[in-house]
Homo-oligomer: A and B are copies of this chain.
Amino acid sequence: MSCISIGDFRTEAGATLSDAHIAYHRFGHFLGDPHGGNNVILVEHALTGNADVAEWWCDLIGPGKALDTTKWCVIAMNALGGCNGSTGPSSPHADGRSWGSRFPALSIRDLVAAEKKALEELGITRVHAIIGGSMGGARTLEWTLMYPEAVDAACVIAVSARASAWQIGIQSAQISAIERDPFWHGGDYYSSSQRPREGLAAARRIAHLTYRGEQEIDERFGVQAQTGEEPLGPYRRHDQRFAVNSYLDYQGSKLADHFDAGSYVTLTEALNRHDIGRGRGGLNRALGSSQVPTMVVGVDTDILYPYHQQEHLSRNLGNLLAMAKVVSPVGHDAFLTESRQMDRILRNFLTLSQPHPLDVDSMIDYAI
């Protein structure tokens, strides 16, 4: 992982983040822009993801895989506001303490603007494609509207044109779960010995139920008791659980081990503010104005970003490249777990995105 400075960053809402940095990973080699196009693919991670895309999308990125790193230069950046290398609430402020509550609210557009600046710092002014799911899909979509001249094609996965009221509600319930943790301290807990672990775990348990299809969870767990526990005893007890609650406890605890609650709140709030239509004459006018060839992908059982939201995108986007449905009981997370379907989708996307395929052998390796 590398890190690059993007200097002082002014947010969409008018706050300033001084001395911001963006962390990134690169896989494969940048071959320059010899013919008005290049071999860069930007992959955008989801809410609690990170820039190590070859790890969490390991079936899809690498030599010979759908995003073939012997041909493509795959770049991924940790979102601004995150906790995996880029500047976020846990990062040191100029005064030496963490930003904490002084960290401004970010929009999806802010995350994208920071990425654009970071790419420019790397000497890359355009990319062949941007691909992302969930929060990564929201950023991908904003890229096509903010910097259409810099993107040849986009693949927008499991997301909507704006936050729905239901999403804002359930995401705000997660923020509330963190804020109600006594160790949250209004976001300024970094200098104390305790972190708001329980709040973050509670947020994740709620979130996870929106990431998974209800029939898939039910087929796996049903009303089973966790092994060795008795959830049907005469009094309700925390250590006597249904199997599904043990599973959700594990998911919550795992996230609390490796993610920062402040970043979780910041990026969740950015999802609340996701709205392609803002300042662009409304949703469908904004989508209609898009000129970047865009493929839209959805999951049939997605609770969080139901498939009708991707149908809405496909009906209204100005330059629809293709539409694909992942069929899976898994729900929203299927774009991470259904590797065979995603492999086919990403290969098709790259084929459709190249009317004149790159001749890699004639290109020069530019070190970045």
Residues of B within 8 A of A105 (CB): 232-236
Closest partner residue, chain B, to A214 (CB atom): B166
B162 touching A176, Cβ below 8 Å: no
Min CB gap A358→B, angstroms: 39
Contact A173-B14, Cβ < 8 Å, known A214-B166, A273-B232: no
When chains A and B are docked, how far (Å) is the Cα of A202 from the Cα of B176?
8
Contact of A166 among B11, B217, B232 (CB under 8 A): B217
Among A49-57, A240-248, A347-355, the stretch that binds chain B is A240-248
Residues of B within 8 A of A303 (CB): 303
Min CB gap A30→B, angstroms: 36
Min CB gap A91→B, angstroms: 17
B272 touching A218, Cβ below 8 Å: no
Which residues of chain A in 29-74 are interfacial with respect to chain B, using CB atoms and an 8 Å cutoff?
none
A220 touching B165, Cβ below 8 Å: yes
A165 touching B222, Cβ below 8 Å: yes
Closest partner residue, chain B, to A16 (CB atom): B234
Residues of B within 8 A of A202 (CB): 173, 176-177, 180
Q: A194-221 interface mask toward B, CB cutoff 8 Å, 1 = contact, 0 = none?
A: 0000110010011011001011011011
Residues of B within 8 A of A243 (CB): 165
Q: Is A341 an interface residue (CB 8 A)?
A: no
Min CB gap A274→B, angstroms: 8
Q: Is A229 an interface residue (CB 8 A)?
A: no
Residues of B within 8 A of A188 (CB): none
- 28 residue pairs A–B, Cβ–Cβ below 8 Å: A11-B234, A13-B233, A13-B234, A14-B234, A15-B235, A105-B232, A105-B234, A107-B232, A162-B222, A162-B223, A164-B214, A164-B218, A164-B222, A165-B214, A165-B217, A165-B220, A166-B209, A166-B244, A169-B209, A169-B245, A172-B205, A173-B202, A173-B205, A173-B209, A180-B180, A180-B181, A214-B306, A215-B308
